[in-house]
Structure 1
Amino acid sequence: MVIIPFLIGAGSGLSLIVAIGAQNAFVLRQGIRREHVLPVVLICGLADAILELLGVAGIGLVVERAPVLLEIVRWGGVAFLLWYAWSAARRALRPAGLVAGQADAASLRQTVTACLAITLLNPHVYLDTMVLMGSLGNAQGDPDRWWFVLGGALASLCWFFLLGYGARALTRFFETPRSWRILDSVVAVTMLVIAARIAFGGIGA
């Protein structure tokens, strides 16, 4: 039955993306600010879907067997996460802070660029989607692996839409600069922890 590989794909995808990370933190922040939410959730969801498709198509095997490429991704990801942590810490320390609905709005181009960077410069995205999801999908065999991809892709899209638009319910909690300082402080510490785990434990840490 096609519903079984579909549900396995959806469950596997959700288990990998429903976690604190740079991408989810970015989507949450955009949702709270109600700023370019649709492009952000579409980029995140479609990127996951495309990478999962490539993984099931066999590209994940190539990535897994290219240690030099993985090392480049690893240290590029560490540098990116440190930059993201520094940016969040700088926002948290700004005297004026940020208030939902009152912060200087970023342009659509700036937001899309930042979203692509957060998505594609994160080393975990390749391990999770292309390698892990690719391996799990191929284990289903033909044609079930394609239903697995569909399940994973729809799960990603649903999650990011829920996170981006559901974050609006938190807007009233972010009406003071102090609330934004707390959020950005948590994001900064989280990104530092993830960067340290990748640097000292590898991408799969």
Structure 2
Amino acid sequence: MTEAIIHGWILALGLILPLGVQNVFVFNQGALQPRWIRSLPAVLTASLCDTLLITLAVAGISIVVLNVAWVKWSLFTAGFFFLLYMGWNIWRSSPDPGSDTGTGPLPPARQVGFALSVSLLNPHAILDTIGVIGTSSLQYDGAERIAFTLTCVAVSWIWFFGLSIAGALIRSLDGGGIWLRRVNRLSALIIWGVAVWIGRELVIEIISS
């Protein structure tokens, strides 16, 4: 049991630590909202989406996603165009709470919508979750598999809450919004980088088919 918990903790942390689209969005909402509590829709939605993906991965849905060509193509295509759009919105967003551009301090409904999109239209994150966590869970049975799954889920929730709090702390230290503007630009570049990776994978899939 202990081995499964430690394995789940290290594995989930290793997958979620790199700067991905989910992380960027949750951090930005924590930083851009006038009060931290207003970023909770983004935090909760991203956490619930990860919980769903981890559960499906452990349940064996990875076989469908990884082996059915049209599923991968559809996922990669939708993810590529959405990330281009997301990157553009973040690039031109403003740290001013009164701004209504891009992914600034979004209202709750739009936070939920964007968080769903960056979680479920991000092939990189989905393939990592399904391919790595799903495959790793196969070595455990019964209570150990449950412990492994719950640990991965717990890491995800702790991480997203921590990201939003970190964003709020940076906002409190950045009165002029200079650092937040720089963070937005860096975030956009990261997202476009992920989009380029997805586009490359899509081209490889098409050529090899």
TM category, shorter? 0.7 to 0.9
Q: Deviations over 1:104-152 (max 9, x none)?
A: 5532111111111111111123212222211111122344222110110
Report the residue type matching 1:11 in the other structure: I
Query: Which residue is 2:192 aligned to?
Result: 192
Report the residue type matching 2:40 in the other structure: L
Query: Which residue is 2:40 aligned to?
Result: 38
Query: Which residue is 1:11 aligned to?
Result: 10
Query: Which residue is 1:94 aligned to?
Result: none
Q: Deviations over 1:10-66 (max 9, x none)?
A: 111110011111110111111112363222222212211221111111111121111
Query: Which residue is 2:207 aligned to?
Result: none
Output the CA distance in 1 between the equivalents of 2:107 and 2:4. 40
Q: 1:203 to 1:38 in 2, by over 3 A?
A: farther
Cα root mean square deviation, aligned: 2.1
Q: 1:149 to 1:203 in 2, by over 3 A?
A: farther
Please report how far the alpha carbon of residue 171 of structure 1 lies from its aligned counterpart in structure 2 after TM superposition: 1.3
Structure 1 stretches lacking a partner, 5+ long: 92-96
- Judge which range, 82-91 or 14-23, deviates more: 82-91
- TM-score scaled to structure 1, two decimals? 0.87
Output the CA distance in 2 between the equivalents of 1:156 and 1:52. 10
Report the residue type matching 1:157 in the other structure: W
Provide the aligned length of Structure 1 versus Structure 2: 197
Structure 2 stretches lacking a partner, 5+ long: 205-209
Contact 2:29–2:106 under 8 Å retained in 1: no
Q: Alignment partner for residue 83 of structure 2, among 81, 84, 90?
A: 81
User: What does 1:1-205 align with in structure 2 at a 5 Å threshold?
Assistant: 2-33=1-32, 34=36, 36-91=38-93, 97-99=94-96, 101-103=97-99, 105-201=105-201
**Larger RCO, structures 1/2 (Cα 8 Å, 6+ apart):** 1
Percentage identity across paired residues of the two chains: 28
Report the residue type matching 1:162 in the other structure: G
Output the CA distance in 2 between the equivalents of 1:112 and 1:56. 25
Report the residue type matching 2:30 in the other structure: G
